[in-house]
């Protein structure tokens, strides 16, 4: 596979810590010598990863303008397919709490959603193969390295994925600001896949029809919609709150 170039401190550091990519070399600008970069160099050396000093113009040409003085040549992120996801759900390796993204094309939005998913502890982030942002270096940077820890699943068809998940006991909740039930009146506490649609367009009609129910984030004021990553984060953490409440009640009984 063609190597990728991660740029920025957090993506490079988290790629090393996660250990899910082969890091071929860490590249450091000759002009950088701050403590944070020294920490990164120490991490690389402790793992036996070569560290190369690169002139700033060369690093910019290789990694782009936002490298923060560091980059790394790495193997592509390993992703699961639908069969792999179903296997991890069946054997309990993956919690039955997923995020499905139906055509999110902005790497910044994808990165933000991945970071929220990782921070909240979701089992996996499911992405379509086509017409969507791919889980590459731009998304790793946008997620501040959280992508390196995420279980990412890439599938050819979102509807077929939903159909495969339902027999495994998952309910499918789609975000729809026009037709959805108010979020805080919805039960999001059980095995669940949360579906977030594309920026501006939302969930596609066929995907919407295959959801078990729809939810909407309450809104007031002159702006009638939230950014996809913000709406997704609100729903994820309401689900997290409900799941925590159930767990506390079960532990106390």
pLDDT tens by residue, 19-51: 999 999 999 987 666 788 889 999 999 999 999
Predicted TM-score of the model (pTM): 0.93
Domain with CATH 3.30.1330.30 in the chain: 4-74
CATH class (in words) of the domain with range 4-74: alpha beta
The CATH 3.40.1280.10 portion of the chain extends over 82-252
**Whether the Cβ atoms of residue 175 and residue 194 lie closer than 8 Å to each other:** yes
Res 105: pLDDT: 94
Report the distance separating Cα 123 and Cα 120, nearest Å: 9
Query: What SS3 class is residue 30?
Result: coil
d(Cα 148, Cα 200) in Å, to the nearest integer?
A: 27
130 closest CA partner among 151, 101, 162, 173 = 101
Phi, psi of 74 (to 5 degrees): -140, 160
What's the confidence (pLDDT) of residue 217? 93
pLDDT of residue 224: 73
Can you say how many angstroms the Cα of residue 73 is from the centroid of all Cα atoms in its chain?
21
pLDDT of residue 63: 87
Element (H, E) at 54: strand 51-54
Show the tokens assigned to 182.
């108010």
Which helix (H) or strand (E) segment holds residue 70: the answer is strand 70-74
For 8: left if phi > 0, alpha if psi spans -120 to 50, otherwise beta; the answer is left
Fold of 82-252: Alpha/beta knot (3.40.1280)
Can you list the residues of the chain whose pLDDT is less than 70? 1, 31-33, 253
- Strand, helix or coil for residue 17: helix
User: What are the start-end ranges of the E strands in 96-241?
Assistant: 97-102, 124-128, 152-155, 171-175, 181-182, 192-197, 213-216
Question: CA 226: distance to chain centroid?
Answer: 19
Provide φ and ψ at 172, rounded to 5°: -110, 115
């Amino acid at each position: 596979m063609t190597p990728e170039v991660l740029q920025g401190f957090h993506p490079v550091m988290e790629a090393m810590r996660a250990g899910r990519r082969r890091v071929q070399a860490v590249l450091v600008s000759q002009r950088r010598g701050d403590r944070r970069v020294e920490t990164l160099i120490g991490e690389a050396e402790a793992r036996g990863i070569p560290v190369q000093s690169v002139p700033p113009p060369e690093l910019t040409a290789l990694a782009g303008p936002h490298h923060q003085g560091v980059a790394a040549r790495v193997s592509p992120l390993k992703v699961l397919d639908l069969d792999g996801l179903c296997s991890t759900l069946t054997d309990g390796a993956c919690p039955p709490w997923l995020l499905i993204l139906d055509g999110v094309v902005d790497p910044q939005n994808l990165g933000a959603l991945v970071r929220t998913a990782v921070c909240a502890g979701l089992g996996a982030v499911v992405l379509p193969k086509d017409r969507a942002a791919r889980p590459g270096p731009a998304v790793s940077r946008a997620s501040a390295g959280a992508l390196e820890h995420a279980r990412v699943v890439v599938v050819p068809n979102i509807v077929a994925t939903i159909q495969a998940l339902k027999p495994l006991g998952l309910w499918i909740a789609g975000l729809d600001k026009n037709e959805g039930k108010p979020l805080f009146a919805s039960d999001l506490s059980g095995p669940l896949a949360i579906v977030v649609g594309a920026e501006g367009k939302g969930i596609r009609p066929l995907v919407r029809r295959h959801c078990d129910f729809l939810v909407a984030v309450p809104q007031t004021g002159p702006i009638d919609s939230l950014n996809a990553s913000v709406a997704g984060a609100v729903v994820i953490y309401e689900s997290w709150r409900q799941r925590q409440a159930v767990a506390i009640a079960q532990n106390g009984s």
